Structure 1
């Protein structure tokens, strides 16, 4: 099942790359901002609950789609690009096993535990 999910998220990543390509922005923007959603992890400096909230906000596929669609309907290519970047980044994270976070710990995700296994 894990491999099946990785293939699904790889398809999502390709879809996000395609959506970004439709915006007409330079690929330098895509490369330069690809990891920008990870700034949301700064919320963990406050506590796990705030960290999980901000991480999940910037890594939610549904929100990414809404941002992209808002850019489409409002004819705002920069909003489309932001949505495509959020979608692509979140899909990439899911391929690596980084899911949405539970508020108790960064390692506790909807895809299971991440990090080093205890000996």
Structure 2
């Protein structure tokens, strides 16, 4: 099942790359911004519940799609870019086995435990 999920997530990542190709930004922008959503892990400094909540908001694909659609309908390329980056990053994470977080510990995700303490 994990392999099927990873394949599906990679297909969505490719969709994000295609969507990015329709914007007028240079390709290096995609590469530089792709890992920026992981800065949301800094919220774990406030504790696991706050960290999980903030991390999950930033990594929620529906929010990424909403941001993109607002940018699309308002003709705001930076919002479109933000939505695509958030979506691509979330797809990449899920393809690698990193899921949305539970509030008890960083390594407890909806896809199972991650890290050394599996």
- Fold similarity call, TM over 0.5: yes
Gaps (5+ residues) in structure 1?
Answer: none
Q: 3-state DSSP class of the match of 1:106?
A: coil
Runs of 4+ aligned structure 1 residues displaced above 6 Å come to none
TM-score, reference length from structure 2: 0.97
Matches within 5 A, 1:1-119: 1-117=1-117
**Distance in 2 (alpha carbons) for counterparts of 1:67 and 1:22:** 16
Aligned length: 118
Question: TM-score by structure 1 length?
Answer: 0.96
In structure 2, the gaps of 5 or more residues are none
Greater share of residues in strand: 1
> Alpha-carbon deviation of 1:13?
0.3
Q: CA deviation at 1:117?
A: 4.2
CA RMSD of aligned residues (A): 0.9
1-side partners of 2:15 and 2:57: how far apart?
20
Could you tell me how far apart the structure 2 residues matched to 1:52 and 1:110 are?
11
> In 2, Cα distance between the equivalents of 1:31 and 1:17?
11
* 1:24 Cα deviation from its structure 2 partner: 1.3
